[in-house]
Structure 1
Amino acid sequence: MKARWLWLLIAAGVAIQVWLLVLKSSLGDVAGCGSTCDEVLSSRWSFVAGVPVPWFGLVTYVVTGIALKWRRPGLLASCLVLLGGAVVWFVGVQAFVLHHFCGWCLAAHGVALGTIGMGWRELRGMASVNWLPAVGGGLAPMGGAILIQVFGPVPATHRIEETAPVAAVVTDVHAQGGGRKVSFDGGAKRYDVEALPRLGPADAKHVLVEYFDYQCPACRTMHGFLETLRARHPREIAVIVLPVALERSCNRLLGPKDTVHEGSCEISRAALAVWRSAPGEFEEVHHALFADAQAGLRLAREKVGGGAKDEAWIDEMLRVDAEDWVVFSSKTKQLPKLLIADRRILHGLPSSEEDFVRVMEGELGLAK
């Protein structure tokens, strides 16, 4: 009876690992806010030496089944130790590094713990185990995987591509105003540098356009990356920042599998209101909203005061920003999205600040 339960757990482990591979394939290799589990399954921690982690889980369960079938207690013990090490490591990564949990990953960890418990009971009915090599046989591959993830080559978690033509954008609201215009896709999409929420000088040589959500963890990290890039090239770079609120009360284009951030509409509206009524205060509020949403909202209300909020303009901006997000998402919906030049667009979050700065300096031809 005990073995039957262990076989069921092994089968469940195989099934979940296969499903994680399917989910990971559907997400692609771009990290960011955009769909369920993407913070985990598209992060750098979802690979070991370029191989998706679920492949290693799948192999481990297959070997566990072989050890059980052939009654190899040492091999079975090594597999159980390996599963235990994987649970501790990957739960720790989700809790303390990513600050985001994938439900399917947690299900996999639960099955792993069940397999360890039932496997331990099964071991008691086998021949005695030489525990030193058995434990070493489990810890060695797990330790090697951790070392590769921490110190090995960091996989790319973003994508820069020539995006599809943006003819589907039906409104030119971003170009309204009498200031300098920057264009995308040969002029099919235009932005008024002075009329739109902006960080950096309006006369900067390079004007980037970012689509983001204030409550998206990947967007928060990208905010820090962009600040570092601007600090290195303060007169050469400006960033137009366009919030895409991932909340259905102001974004009807969200799909059933899209990430939803409650409160994003209120935060985005507050930021746009500050820009519209007190543009000189916008950058301070923009930083504050990323640092602490509630404190940022209080600051935004103070800056706006009794000034006109231009609700019609704010509504139109939120609608068009969301429409653009869909148009630019032919291959991936992940936020943030960063328009670089002409049809060059960066999807998702690079794996590190150093990687982002290096890539952007190369794309823009900036001196290091």
Structure 2
Amino acid sequence: MSSISKDVLKTIEAVSGDGNNRVRVEFRRFSLPSNWFVAALAIPMLTALAISSYLTYVSVTASEIAGCTGGQLFDCAHVIYSKWSKVFGIPVSAMALGTYVAMIVAASVTCMKKLSSPVRLMAWSAVTGLAIAAALAALYFIYLQVFVLEHLCPWCLGAHACGLLIATAVLVSRTRIALPPLAAVSSLAAAGLAVMIGVQVNSEEVQMYETIDYVPTANAASGDDSTFAVAPEDFENAPVDDGMMLLPPGDDDLFMPPMDEEFEDEEDDSIETPSEDTSESDDDVAAVQVSQLRSLAKSGVDAACQLAAVRSPLASLMILQQSSQQEKEEASEADADADSEQDDADDQADSEDQNDAEAKKKPKQEKPEPRIVEFMGRKLNAHQWPVDGSPTAKYVFVEMFDYTCSHCRSTSEAIFKVKERMGDDLAVVVLPVPMNSRCNGAIKVDHLAHAEACEISTLAIAVWRCDPAKFSEFHKWLLDGKDAPSFAEALAKANEMVGEERLDKERKKKTAGAYVQRHCMMYKMLNGGAVPKLLFPKQAVQGAFTGVDALENLIKEQAGR
């Protein structure tokens, strides 16, 4: 009893109907905590208050959450911008803020010994009820994060941990209140939580996106009317990998894709070049070796024998003799085959004339007419970029996204549903933009969820280049489910679809990586920011767009010819 004040006892008199019998019942109703105990509870109370204040600010201002964005497991934005984060439009963090403010005020009143005991008891009863309410809400929101949203918010979990700690300390301490009032405050807290759950369950899904209108700003000096952060002349300053050079937009702001010729590897010289020497005798020797080397090359001797010849005079003599003998044998064989080859040549000439006549009858394959797609003041030819659907579709728009981004995956699910409705009338120009600084210089902080984003994006482009007809299937497979496949899984699927040898040959080129670099450059010109980005001629939508009906209406309004 040393740590608490004297028990407050109350007498309840129950009077029977006839007034003859009186029953006096005494029971311990409340015990006041010591000031030290309340001071210890102030630490988690103030911590929860600070976290709730920050989360309220973030929710109201739609600011980025420090240290918790875009992760596959930890993604605060996915939690605090969901429909479970508000009640009647009020952020639950604001309600938590009010709860902890009231709890701190009530705890302060409990410690004021100058006040009467009934007032202090009422204050401590309020602390107990608020602590129970905070604990019940914490359990509910932890359940939502783990089983419904499947993403965790560390800031939120910190506040929930404080609420559970406070409630546990109050209930298991020696300052417990008696059963009847405890049951009353617990029931009141549970009722409030039930109302909140009912409101959230029946509320509509919150759309986590923003719309940006393109407004051209005329520039008389340069003639540029774009609102982008990076001008075309700054392309050479863009971060690129392996020394790749990005081409600026073409005429009329038309983005040009990378060409294979830009990335052809130079063939290695298999013949070692003799080193120069200043002595006259060595120069003469070198001249003889070079002359021998040329003779051997003309005779068809392989590179290994050529190197042996120039390094050893004896080997040179042996090889020359062998080469002379081979020339004689080849000459005799050539004379024997000359007559038969002449006959074959006559027959082949007749066949070629016939094939030429048939070829002239066949119409030449013409290049498809360019399908120019405009997006935020820029243009590209849909035939030259990865497309999910037909470039000639009635509605075509551009999508920037990351295969490892959770919001991109949920938005893609909505896009696929709209494509099922619209059929061949809809196509999407697919521009993977990895959220990883290894291949995207606009990214400043890397997250574990995007560790393989560069490899997966480049692989998708390689599949498109190998077989455009199978790209849509592979693209949809990569975005199927809530979690992105690993690069090893994606590579195995790609090998299965287009063939391992064919894909390996394409991956050894730099062209697929160059496409990804172009995508990242466009992303940077659009001021970076959140993905996915749905780009239309005069409008861009960035963030998770999961409303199928709203998305269909937006496409028909913005993406038509």
1:184 paired to 2:340: no
For 1:108 and 1:343, the matched residues in 2 are separated by: 42
Summarize the Cα distance change of 1:293–1:36 in structure 2 as closer, same or farther, 3 Å threshold: closer
1:298 paired to 2:360: no
Please say if residues 49 and 153 of structure 1, whose CA atoms lie closer than 8 Å, have aligned partners that are also in contact.
no
- In structure 2, what is the equivalent of residue 323 of structure 1? 521
The one of 175, 184, 187 equivalent to 2:255 is 175
SS at match of 1:233: helix
| Deviation (angstroms), 1:233 | 0.7
1:255 paired to 2:444: yes
The one of 510, 513, 536 equivalent to 1:312 is 510
Summarize the Cα distance change of 1:284–1:4 in structure 2 as closer, same or farther, 3 Å threshold: same
For 1:227 and 1:357, the matched residues in 2 are separated by: 11
Q: State the Cα deviation string for residues 186-235 of structure 1 (Å, max 9, x = none).
A: xx411221121111121112111111111111111111100111111113
| Deviation (angstroms), 1:167 | 6.6
Could you tell me which amino acid in structure 2 is paired with residue 268 of structure 1?
S
Please say if residues 87 and 199 of structure 2, whose CA atoms lie closer than 8 Å, have aligned partners that are also in contact.
yes
| Deviation (angstroms), 1:320 | 2.6
TM value normalised by structure 1: 0.87
For 1:169 and 1:321, the matched residues in 2 are separated by: 15
For 1:363 and 1:189, the matched residues in 2 are separated by: 15
For 1:129 and 1:196, the matched residues in 2 are separated by: 71
Please say if residues 182 and 191 of structure 1, whose CA atoms lie closer than 8 Å, have aligned partners that are also in contact.
yes
- In structure 2, what is the equivalent of residue 288 of structure 1? 477
TM value normalised by structure 2: 0.58
Please say if residues 245 and 268 of structure 1, whose CA atoms lie closer than 8 Å, have aligned partners that are also in contact.
yes
- In structure 2, what is the equivalent of residue 166 of structure 1? 228
1:34-113 superposed matches below 5 A: 37-70=76-109, 71-72=121-122, 73-113=124-164
Please say if residues 273 and 304 of structure 1, whose CA atoms lie closer than 8 Å, have aligned partners that are also in contact.
no
| Deviation (angstroms), 1:22 | 3.4
- In structure 1, what is the equivalent of residue 320 of structure 2? none
For 2:52 and 2:191, the matched residues in 1 are separated by: 21
SS at match of 2:517: helix
1:224-263 superposed matches below 5 A: 224-256=413-445, 261-263=450-452
Give 1 or 2 for the bigger CA radius of gyration: 2
Could you tell me which amino acid in structure 2 is paired with residue 338 of structure 1?
L
The one of 39, 49, 53 equivalent to 1:18 is 53
- In structure 2, what is the equivalent of residue 349 of structure 1? 544
Q: State the Cα deviation string for residues 35-68 of structure 1 (Å, max 9, x = none).
A: 9622222223222222222101101111222332
For 2:551 and 2:108, the matched residues in 1 are separated by: 49
Summarize the Cα distance change of 1:167–1:22 in structure 2 as closer, same or farther, 3 Å threshold: closer
More contact order relative to length (CA 8 Å, sep ≥ 6): 1
Could you tell me which amino acid in structure 2 is paired with residue 48 of structure 1?
V
For 1:167 and 1:16, the matched residues in 2 are separated by: 35
For 1:26 and 1:335, the matched residues in 2 are separated by: 19
Please say if residues 33 and 336 of structure 1, whose CA atoms lie closer than 8 Å, have aligned partners that are also in contact.
no
| Deviation (angstroms), 1:93 | 1.8
The one of 500, 515, 534 equivalent to 1:338 is 534
Summarize the Cα distance change of 1:362–1:176 in structure 2 as closer, same or farther, 3 Å threshold: closer
Summarize the Cα distance change of 1:145–1:363 in structure 2 as closer, same or farther, 3 Å threshold: farther
Q: State the Cα deviation string for residues 292-340 of structure 1 (Å, max 9, x = none).
A: 524333111331532342643322222232233233347xx2211111x
Summarize the Cα distance change of 1:2–1:348 in structure 2 as closer, same or farther, 3 Å threshold: same
- In structure 2, what is the equivalent of residue 9 of structure 1? 44
For 2:435 and 2:417, the matched residues in 1 are separated by: 26
Could you tell me which amino acid in structure 2 is paired with residue 151 of structure 1?
N
Q: State the Cα deviation string for residues 165-185 of structure 1 (Å, max 9, x = none).
A: 237252338733673111123
Q: State the Cα deviation string for residues 126-145 of structure 1 (Å, max 9, x = none).
A: 56652343122212222222
- In structure 2, what is the equivalent of residue 124 of structure 1? 175
Could you tell me which amino acid in structure 2 is paired with residue 176 of structure 1?
M
| Deviation (angstroms), 1:236 | 2.0
SS at match of 2:384: coil
The runs of 5 or more residues in structure 1 that have no matched partner are: none
